[in-house]
Amino acid sequence: MNCCRLPKLPLVLCLFLFTLPTGRCAGATLDDLKKLEITCFVPSYLPNGFKLKSCDITYDEIQEYEDKNHPLPLYSLVYEGPSRTGGEAAKFWIDSAREGIGDRNVMEEEDTEDSEMQSPLGQMFIIYRPKGKTGPKVEIDSNWMRDANMVAETDTQHLAHPVLGRFHGFSASGISLDEFTKIIKSLHPVGSTVGKAAQAATAAAPLKIHPKVFNLVDCWISDSESPVVTEISRDAVEKNGNEFNDDGLKQDGEWIRCPVPDTSGFMRYRVLESKKNRYKVEYQENGGGTLTTASIIEFTIEKRAIQRDGKPATIRVLRVLSYALKTGN
């Protein structure tokens, strides 16, 4: 999800709404970035006199529903060079984020101008001040850019929370647009991990969905016909936190499990098969007694066009392909 450019609007702070970085490795090196399984971008071109000033690695907080043994690193880089105006040093810096992002290329000053360019990560929108195509700029900010891992995890795997994918943001101060453009066009992954990482994201990224979704597919135990619901909006599930809340949601071995409210029971599922956007899971439910019911549900996750409030919209849906009651538990 690349944030759109929104020039000349009130300042919007970059918010990390879902997870906050925990842990910090200041004084890291580019060699340390090569050891991370995420893709980290560095420039091969820098203006004369620019050097790496700082390299930091931080780690996102791991949520209850995420693998506790899988660290979630972020990185940031700052390059500095001689001042072109006699004031502060000129800078170029890179930030990264996993989720919970806000617009980062929005300025409240009126003396701003926006533009766009082609980058190694796709079409990039920038905003800068002061206006004009020449001379050093006080500030240049790009929108957040998705890397190949993020594209694979969100567009192909349809994960609710990225594992390897990252957003990357690029900023500068004290340099010209021409210099900024040259830096951006020279960006490349540090080391040569991008192919392996993207492949891993596509082939092995885990399914992240609330177990209660499969409760909607199963019928009541006193009834006989399943599946009841055959298409469910993943977008709605992720946003409707009251009905699909994360209280008690956790990874339990190969199972994703949550409690049944006001009982000692549970809902849980495990992935049996997965290929691209097609999955087969075993879903189990226990109402707090000795009986545990189980079913095998096969489904795809895909996009569908609908009308919402009279306007066209595209949503992600879980579409059931097959259902079978499992016996002998």
User: What's the pLDDT tens digit per position in 24-38?
Assistant: 565 789 999 999 999
More confident residue, 171 or 198: 171
**Last residue within a domain, chosen from 171, 204, 237:** 204
**Last residue within a domain, chosen from 147, 170, 204:** 204
- Domain membership of residue 101 as a residue range: 21-204
Could you tell me if residue 320 is inside a domain?
yes
How far apart (Å, rounded) are the C-alpha atoms in residues 257 and 187?
41
Could you tell me if residue 189 is inside a domain?
yes
Could you tell me if residue 319 is inside a domain?
yes
Could you tell me if residue 283 is inside a domain?
yes
Cross-strand partners of 189: 41
Domain count, the chain: 2
Say whether both 165 and 190 belong to one domain: yes
- Contact in structure between 307 and 313 (CB atoms under 8 Å): yes
* pLDDT band, very low/low/confident/very high, at 185 (cuts 50, 70, 90): very high
Q: Which of 43, 59, 40 is nearest to 51 (CA)?
A: 43
Mean pLDDT of 170-180: 96
DSSP 245: -
**Last residue within a domain, chosen from 204, 231, 259:** 204
Q: Which of 133, 137, 121, 154 is nearest to 41 (CA)?
A: 121
pLDDT at 9: 31
Could you tell me if residue 112 is inside a domain?
yes
For residue 22, is pLDDT > 70? Answer: no
Say whether both 221 and 309 belong to one domain: yes
Could you tell me if residue 2 is inside a domain?
no
pLDDT at 120: 93
Say whether both 122 and 264 belong to one domain: no
Contacts with 316 (C-beta within 8 Å, 6 or more apart), sequence order? 158, 233, 234, 235, 301, 302, 303, 304
Say whether both 258 and 306 belong to one domain: yes
Say whether both 99 and 154 belong to one domain: yes
Could you tell me if residue 7 is inside a domain?
no
Could you tell me if residue 223 is inside a domain?
yes
Say whether both 230 and 252 belong to one domain: yes
pTM summary value: 0.54
Please tell me whether the peptide bond between 130 and the residue prior to it is cis, using omega within 30 degrees of 0: yes
Say whether both 104 and 182 belong to one domain: yes
How far apart (Å, rounded) are the C-alpha atoms in residues 221 and 329?
15
* pLDDT band, very low/low/confident/very high, at 106 (cuts 50, 70, 90): low
How far apart (Å, rounded) are the C-alpha atoms in residues 297 and 280?
6
Say whether both 191 and 229 belong to one domain: no
Buried b (16+ CB within 10 A) or exposed e, 27-42: ebeeebbeebebbbbb
Q: Which of 115, 132, 86 is nearest to 184 (CA)?
A: 115
Exposure on the CB side of residue 152, measured as CA atoms within 13 A: 24
Q: Which of 46, 105, 53, 108 is nearest to 78 (CA)?
A: 53
pLDDT at 206: 61
